[in-house]
Structure 1
Amino acid sequence: MTTTPDLRPDAPAAGARFSPLQDLMYGHIYADAVRAVIVHGIADLLADGPRTAEDLAERSGTQAVPLRRILRMLATRGLFHEENGAFALTESGTGLRADVPGSQRATALLFTDEMFRRSAENIPDTLRTGEPGFETAYGVPFFAHLSATPDKSRLFDAAMTSRTGQADEDIAGAYAFPDSGTVVDIGGGRGGLLREALTRSPGLRGVLFDRPETVAGHLLGTAELDGRWRTEGGDFFTAVPEGGDLYLLKNILHDWPDEDCLRILRTIRRAVAPGTRLLVVDAVLPADGSPHPALALDIVMLMVVRGRERTAAEFEDLLTRSGFRLHRIVPTRAMSSLIEAEATGEAVPD
């Protein structure tokens, strides 16, 4: 007796099962395919509805056959949907457009940039030496490279803004910001979180502190916030604005090793009075090894900078050693949690 193979289009070939290992091995292919469709503006061309690969190719200056194959593969990852010979964006794929709220286009371009690809290629050396793969590839630390390459610095700032847009809303909504006083956002980028805080608390004033070239592109210039904020450029390793009632430190500590985190925290502590609150916004890894989305980000820190994601106990140790007392940790809908601390009355450690 013979059997006839099932040749229906939706019937998988015998043994055609994707294992987790196989999916991981293809990871860089998916990433580069995402980058390719962004570079050619494919998602933007689908803003008004489905189009065929031929139509998309003509409008984007690409070739229809390879484009169809790329989109067909990315459809299996939930970014596109194919029906009746045409492709449409899914909800997830919409984030690849440049003109939508919460766009992840800049973030995807950053994490698929050669800076990250070359860093990842050096992970075998990182395991042997402990040195970031980025420094092996480029010969300088990551942030020094950004300072020397304005186009990469702009990409980084744009990615951080797009990556944290929704997160800023989630974070601000999870914390009761004061109705008055001054909040100082240390290393606050373009001020997305500060804008959310000031918007929610009309009596609050704010200071945005970061590199001069970063704060120059701030997001605070709205009529609603007029007269309630100022920007200041500087280096949080040496000095920060004094006199604030609440200090924010969002997604900063994970960029640095412990000794540099202590330098940053002690710089802040010297600028504030006892009792001043500090709100550290960072991912808090579970101590029991259970899954968490920041575990992958921890590897990005390993290969690009000398920072790391930390557990609650590790944050408490840093805070205690720099003159702060941990009060509580508040989870949010975002990847990050809110780590609330208070400046103690003890002398600031050197």
Structure 2
Amino acid sequence: MNCDDTDYEVLASQIESLLKRPDGALQIRDEKTRRRLVEGARKLAESLEFPRETYRRIQYSHLVLPLAVVGVDTGVFSALASENRPFCSTELAKKTGVDTQLLRRLLRYYQATDMISQVAVDTYQSSPVANVLSSDNHSDSLRFTLDKLDSQRVGSLYLSEAQSLGIETFPIAYDGSKGWEKSLMDAFDFKKHLNAQDISSSTFLFVDIGGGTGSQSLAFRKQYSKLPGRVALQDRPEVVERVKPMFANIENIEAEVYDFSTTPQPIRGARVYYMRNIFHAWADAKCVEILLNIKAGMTEQSVLMIDEIAIPETNAKGPGAQHDLEVMICVGGVERTEGQWASLLSGVGLIVHEIVKYDEDYEDALIIAGLA
């Protein structure tokens, strides 16, 4: 039987309606029917995945067990299940003794992975999953399994220092582009931020700060090949030496050594200063130092474009919340919410003009800021 889009829309509406019913499983009296629904829903969900969704689901599956145990051991699930009402994070922090900022990140992950429900900004409630995890019988089983898997390092969220990333062993994992990733250059029109009428051959159009192997610099130059002006990649000496041969036969693109963490930006008045996946590795205090260095080169015509995850304040999606805890475990980093980005930038005299979500599924965004 062939199904058109209308059939799928009807099915989606029926599923959404079923999910609104409390204790849905208890309303199904026939166990065989319940099992068919469980198995069918699981297989349907996996069959509808795009390759990148399958990759992300498997990549972050290792977080589920240790983070569930964290929720059990800290008393988060039992606190939520203690009363049939919403709790704000500050109230839960008092009940559990968990640091409020850490707890907010945990709650966001639990909501994004359907362990708990979010009813408003920073306000959460128990769910059937949380009720199960609050039971001593089930929680003991989780602890036993985690202990046998020897995953204590993954389960510990209270890291005082970053772990070795193994970048040399897995270079593509840190600097490569996956085939299923959405292209920033296709999704966003940089021209509207370039003031094309005032551009000359000496104008710096795009400064790719910490640009690695130059994938974004090359993509920008290719996308806007007819625009005059210069593209510059800035990175560590060993990286620049590696990319210079790649740029040798490409006009108006160059590479220079620059340490954004210690030195004011040497290129003044560029139209776009671009930084991708840099700030999530640093705490706010270090980010302030970096931003002040970049700001030193900016003029009224300049914008800073930060290409990172921007998590919404409510109903965060799985990948963004999962990656937040992943960078915390790996490097003690953080994926910031939209509000946290605005606060961080305003603290150094920059104002957010726009946050453009170019990949809604993964909360990938351009945070575009200028001088206040």
Q: Same fold (TM over 0.5)?
A: yes
The corresponding residue for 1:141 is: 162
In the alignment, does 2:198 pair up with 1:198? no
Distance 1:165 1:216 in 2: 27
In the alignment, does 2:184 pair up with 1:168? yes
In the alignment, does 2:169 pair up with 1:151? yes
* Identity %, equivalent residues: 22
Distance 1:281 1:171 in 2: 13
Deviation string for 1:205-254 (max 9, x for gaps)?
A: 1111233444455499368x723111223432112442241201122222
The corresponding residue for 1:16 is: 35
The corresponding residue for 2:77 is: none
Distance 1:230 1:118 in 2: 41
Distance 1:327 1:228 in 2: 28
Q: 2:307 aligns with which of 281, 285, 293?
A: 281
Alignment RMSD (CA, Å): 4.4
Aligned partners of 1:284 and 1:310 also within 8 Å: yes
Q: 1:235 aligns with which of 245, 259, 262?
A: 259
The corresponding residue for 1:184 is: 207
Q: 1:327 aligns with which of 338, 353, 372?
A: 353
Report SS of the residue matched to 1:339. strand
Which structure 2 segments of 5+ residues have no match? Answer: 1-30, 75-97, 104-151
Partner amino acid for 1:169? M
Aligned partners of 2:311 and 2:335 also within 8 Å: yes
Partner amino acid for 2:302? T
Alpha-carbon spacing, 1:149–1:294, altered in 2? closer, same or farther (3 Å):
closer
Report SS of the residue matched to 1:313. helix
Partner amino acid for 1:156? A
CA-CA distance at 1:281 after TM superposition: 1.8
The corresponding residue for 1:336 is: 364
CA-CA distance at 1:333 after TM superposition: 4.1
Normalising by structure 1, we get a TM-score of 0.55
The corresponding residue for 1:77 is: 46
User: Within 5 A, what are the aligned runs for 1:215-226?
Assistant: 215-218=240-243, 221=246, 226=250
Aligned partners of 1:134 and 1:305 also within 8 Å: no
CA-CA distance at 1:320 after TM superposition: 1.1
Partner amino acid for 1:323? G
Report SS of the residue matched to 2:355. strand
Aligned partners of 1:191 and 1:220 also within 8 Å: no
Distance 2:234 2:309 in 1: 21
Report SS of the residue matched to 2:192. coil
Q: 1:295 aligns with which of 321, 338, 343?
A: 321
Distance 2:230 2:259 in 1: 21
Which structure 1 segments of 5+ residues have no match? Answer: 1-11, 24-72, 80-90, 96-103, 345-350
CA-CA distance at 1:272 after TM superposition: 3.1
The corresponding residue for 2:289 is: 263
Aligned partners of 1:195 and 1:219 also within 8 Å: no
Normalising by structure 2, we get a TM-score of 0.53
Which has more helix, going by share of residues? 2
Q: 2:233 aligns with which of 208, 214, 221?
A: 208
Number of aligned residues: 251
